[in-house]
Amino acid sequence: MARMTMIEAVRSAMDVAMGRDEDVVVFGEDVGYFGGVFRCTQGLQAKYGKTRCFDTPINESGIVGTAIGMAAYGLKPCVEIQFADYMYPAYDQLTQEAARIRYRSNGDFTCPIVVRMPTGGGIFGGQTHSQSPEALFTHVCGLKVVVPSNPYDAKGLLIAAIEDPDPVMFLEPKRLYNGPFDGHHERPVTPWSKHTLGDVPDDYYSIPIGKAEVRRQGSAVTVIAYGTMVHVALAAAEDTSIDAEVIDLRSLLPLDLDAIVKSVSKTGRCVVVHEATLTSGFGGEIAALVQEHCFYHLEAPVMRVAGWDTPYPHAQEWDYFPGPARVGRALTDVMEA
Amino acid sequence: MVKQGHLSLHVPEPAVRPGGQPDFSNVKIARAGAVPRPNVDAAAEDIRDLAYSIIRVLNRDGEAVGPWAGLLSDDDLRTGLRHMMTLRAFDARMLMAQRQGKTSFYMQHLGEEAVSCAFRKALNKGDMNFPTYRQAGLLIADDYPMVEMMNQIYSNESDPLRGRQLPIMYSSKEHGFFTISGNLATQYVQAVGWAMASAIKNDSRIAAAWIGDGSTAESDFHSALVFASTYRAPVILNVVNNQWAISTFQGIARGGSGTFAARGLGFGIPALRVDGNDYLAVHAVACWAAERARRNLGPTLIEYVTYRVGAHSTSDDPSAYRPKTESEAWPLGDPVLRLKKHLILRGLWSEERHVQAEAEIADEVIAAQRKAEEHGTMHAGGRPSVRDIFEGVYAEMPPHLRRQRQKAGY
């Protein structure tokens, strides 16, 4: 067991997977010699050689397209898109190819690939380095979508993703790379070395995709979140002293509906939180499912807290980000409704 | 100071439109046997001319001439003719079946039979094609059962793809035929990835990518070339230039470049241009590229110059965008007739045997069709289950799909 940052946990997952299975290959822009702009692949080329971990041309559709071909051959590519914002050139390959190869060939060919990408704001990256495009993936049948919130989950889920027989989009919230950022940007971030979920086994383990985790038990209201917003929701519960139950989805597709229904049926109130823009965001899907499955338990309308429906601004990052104050207001509102 | 006028936009036009006299005088055709055959380890820049000429083996008299001739045995040639005739007969029956309402859609190969039939013979078992919708010769020439193809076209109860795919979007890993997308150009870069995987695993198998003239304009074409070039992937990059992308002439995709083959040169990829209606030339050039790939010398780009005699699909009428008699004026002739002439000239074939072979092939195709129709057609008889809609989206069906399947009543 070691204390790891999320970067180290992600790297350890790929290291373990590559060590166990020679068919696992890792590639993307700057991931080879340099080890990635966020250093998630540092040391892998030196350890496994440059035919198993290598740099690619700046061409996302080429990265995903070649990964699909390699998967058809029998490899298990785990590729990096440098920022989630850069995935659009690969979107055709993801939605119309990777997601449908098993289906359209009736299992004659399959596509076991993992596409990792740093997601969300956190580095004053403005509109092209801060996006959260997960809903563009959850809308695509045939993809799986995973968003970890801590180093322990990141490693276990990434190993599960690499072992998964189908394509998995693995979104890594870059605000969480170094610590459990709770949205209080005016305070220093606690490093993962001081957090129990920074305890990560060095060896192999996996966490099943499709299972949520309750991060805080509570009875007043259910907060459904994933990634960075899990920590923001926890902070909002503390700040408002509202006894919220915080569910960390971990995987958006498949979705752990049972965990959601169980909690909302108990609390009767629900707030969904994500950093991605509001309209047609994944929160809309959760809200719809909650009213379909928990309508007679609900004591208040389901509320959503999300990024504004604007491009991610540069200088006004903290006015854009749905921090603990906005989540706290939603908790108060839903309790008073 | 230079005086500047107003700018104007150049929009290319084909030489002739409907009502005009077909004119292929702009298609420069090298004499058969005239183009040299370089060593397979030649550098792209040393064989630039091959991207601008046309490699041909069969001359107007039906003789096989020049340095690209002589690879195929008498039996190979007779088999090749039979494959092309089979593909043509298959197309004719399925086109008719579509007109009869037995399927929703069909795409034929008329005039382009040599490209996929001859190419298949340059590959080994285990190699992988990433085809478009006009390479069914890859299956026919590998003896994939016609009845399976028809089951897929009919989306019947024995459809290997369970009714999920448009007609003719076959898939057969066993026969080295990657599932056809129907999406354009995406498979080109996937083929490069498959080839890279083979190299990563120190395997001996190679990949073949397929694309049409029109789709070379897609960015995935360029993605494929840059990856193939960078990693020297063991892949053959095929461009089938059949002159027409639905109604759009090839000049719209080609732009100011002299040929499609020339696209390879900027990437340092050896590029060859070949007579796509010449079975022997297609096979010889494909063998050259396959040998390069197998010797770890990297990718080759091949442009097959051919002509789409039929419509793009059963959904368009070519007389609306090109002269009706254009195909008759096409200077590279008919691939079936050209190989037939060669075989007769060499005493390996005769008019009588040809007529007899046509009858035998027609019987085989009709027998396969009868067998397929026992399992249903698009609108009659057995069909895939509604259950098949929900299966196979994932290896394991997630809960939300189980709920939806139950809602559908299955």
By Cβ distance, the residue of B187, B198, B394 closest to A73 is B198
Give me the number of domains chain A comprises.
2
Torsion angles phi and psi, residue B45, rounded to 5 = -70, -20
Distances (CA, A) of A41 to A35, A164, B221, B345: 4, 20, 29, 64
Calculate the CA A320 to chain-centre distance: 20
Q: Of A200, A233, A264, which marks where a domain is finished?
A: A200
Q: Would you say B297 and B106 are in contact if contact means Cβ atoms under 8 Å apart?
A: no
Same domain, A17 and A155: yes
Q: Of A147, A171, A200, which marks where a domain is finished?
A: A200
Count the neighbouring beta carbons within 10 Å of the beta carbon of residue A231: 28
Question: Is a pLDDT exceeding 80 seen at residue B40?
Answer: yes
**Residue numbers in A near B165 (CB within 8 A):** 104
Helix boundaries (H) for B1-145: 74-99, 113-120, 137-140
**Cβ contact, residue pair B178, A109, below 8 Å:** yes
pLDDT digits (tens, 9 = 90+) for B253-308: 999 888 999 999 999 999 999 999 999 999 999 999 999 999 999 999 999 999 99
d(CA B117, CA B139): 8
**What share of chain B in percent tops pLDDT 90?**
96
**What is the pLDDT at residue B1?**
63
CB of B164 less than 8 A from some CB of A: yes
Count the neighbouring beta carbons within 10 Å of the beta carbon of residue B366: 12
What dihedral angle (degrees, nearest 10) is formed by the CA atoms of B249, B250, B251, B257?
180
**What is the pLDDT at residue A57?**
98
**What is the pLDDT at residue B27?**
85
d(CA B53, CA A89): 35
Same domain, A170 and A220: no
**Cβ contact, residue pair B190, A69, below 8 Å:** yes
Q: Quick check: is A205 in a domain?
A: no
Same domain, A288 and A313: yes
As separate numbers, helices (DSSP H) first and strands (DSSP E) second, chain B gives 13, 7
Which residue of chain B is at minimal alpha-carbon distance from A96?
B183
**What share of chain A in percent tops pLDDT 70?**
100
Count the neighbouring beta carbons within 10 Å of the beta carbon of residue B94: 26
**Global ipTM:** 0.97
At CB < 8 A and 24+ separation, what contacts does A314-320 make?
Answer: A314/A124, A314/A125, A314/A126, A314/A127, A315/A124, A317/A121, A317/A124, A317/A130, A318/A185, A320/A121
Nearest to B48 by CA among B59, B36, B60: B36
Q: Quick check: is A36 in a domain?
A: yes
Nearest to A96 by CA among B315, B169, B150, B103: B169
A308 CB burial (10 A radius; 0-12, 13-18, 19+): middle
Q: Would you say A93 and A61 are in contact if contact means Cβ atoms under 8 Å apart?
A: yes
Same domain, A69 and A136: yes
Same domain, A235 and A315: yes
By Cβ distance, the residue of A52, A68, A106 closest to B193 is A68
pLDDT digits (tens, 9 = 90+) for B118-173: 999 999 999 999 999 999 999 999 999 999 999 999 999 999 999 999 999 999 99
Q: Would you say A305 and A326 are in contact if contact means Cβ atoms under 8 Å apart?
A: yes
**What is the pLDDT at residue B26?**
83
d(CA B256, CA A87): 31
Q: Quick check: is A255 in a domain?
A: yes
d(CA B149, CA B153): 6
Question: Is a pLDDT exceeding 80 seen at residue B2?
Answer: no
Same domain, A72 and A189: yes
d(CA A169, CA A12): 18
CB of B191 less than 8 A from some CB of A: yes
**For testing the chain B interface, which of A70, A88, A169, A258 should be mutated: the one with the most B CBs within 10 Å?**
A70
Whichever domain contains A152, its CATH number is 3.40.50.970
Give the mean pLDDT of chain B.
97
Q: By three-state DSSP, how is residue A124 classified?
A: coil
Question: Is a pLDDT exceeding 70 seen at residue B30?
Answer: yes
**Residue numbers in A near B160 (CB within 8 A):** 106, 108
Q: Please say whether the dihedral angle defined by the alpha carbons of residues B152, B156, B157 and B158, taken in this order, is positive or negative.
A: negative
Q: Would you say A120 and A165 are in contact if contact means Cβ atoms under 8 Å apart?
A: no
Domain covering B44-313+323-379 in this structure, CATH number = 3.40.50.970
**Cβ contact, residue pair A61, B395, below 8 Å:** no
Same domain, A183 and A226: no
**Cβ contact, residue pair B201, A75, below 8 Å:** yes
Same domain, A136 and A187: yes
Stretches where chain A sits below pLDDT 70 are none
- DSSP secondary-structure letter at A128? G
By Cβ distance, the residue of B164, B188, B195 closest to A104 is B164
At CB < 8 A and 24+ separation, what contacts does A311-314 make?
Answer: A311/A127, A312/A121, A312/A125, A312/A126, A312/A127, A312/A130, A312/A131, A313/A126, A313/A127, A314/A124, A314/A125, A314/A126, A314/A127
pTM: 0.97
CB of A161 less than 8 A from some CB of B: no
pLDDT digits (tens, 9 = 90+) for B390-406: 999 999 999 999 999 99
**Cβ contact, residue pair A69, B207, below 8 Å:** yes
Same domain, A187 and A269: no
**Residue numbers in A near B177 (CB within 8 A):** none
Which residue of chain A is at minimal alpha-carbon distance from B219?
A61
Whichever domain contains A251, its CATH number is 3.40.50.920
**What is the pLDDT at residue B257?**
87
Same domain, A82 and A183: yes
- DSSP secondary-structure letter at B343? H
Nearest to A208 by CA among A169, A150, A156: A156
Q: Would you say B280 and B258 are in contact if contact means Cβ atoms under 8 Å apart?
A: no
Active site residues of A: 129
Q: Are strands A213-216 and A244-248 parallel, antiparallel or unpaired?
A: antiparallel
Provide the domain limits for residue A57: 2-200
Same domain, A51 and A96: yes
Count the neighbouring beta carbons within 10 Å of the beta carbon of residue A110: 17
d(CA B91, CA A96): 28
Ordered strands of the A24-28 beta sheet: A53-55, A24-28, A76-80, A114-119, A168-173, A144-146, A251-253
**Cβ contact, residue pair A57, B230, below 8 Å:** yes
d(CA A248, CA A251): 9
pLDDT digits (tens, 9 = 90+) for B172-220: 999 999 999 999 999 999 999 999 999 999 999 999 999 999 999 999 9
Cis check: omega of the bond before B270, within 30 degrees of 0: no
Distances (CA, A) of A330 to A326, A337, B44: 6, 10, 65
**Residues facing A336 on adjacent strands:** none
d(CA A175, CA A310): 20
As separate numbers, helices (DSSP H) first and strands (DSSP E) second, chain A gives 12, 14
Count the neighbouring beta carbons within 10 Å of the beta carbon of residue A115: 28
d(CA B71, CA B77): 10
CB of A292 less than 8 A from some CB of B: no
For residue B286, what are its two tokens? 């494909």
Q: Quick check: is A206 in a domain?
A: no
CB of B372 less than 8 A from some CB of A: no
Rounded to a whole number of angstroms, the distance from the CA of B403 to the nearest CA of chain A is: 12
Same domain, A156 and A229: no
CB of A52 less than 8 A from some CB of B: yes
Q: Would you say A249 and A224 are in contact if contact means Cβ atoms under 8 Å apart?
A: yes
CB of A50 less than 8 A from some CB of B: no
Q: Are strands A168-173 and A221-225 parallel, antiparallel or unpaired?
A: unpaired
pLDDT digits (tens, 9 = 90+) for B353-379: 999 999 999 999 999 999 999 999 999
**Residues facing A273 on adjacent strands:** A305
For residue B365, what are its two tokens? 């195709």
Please compute the mean of the pLDDT values over residues B59-87 and round it to a whole number. Answer: 97
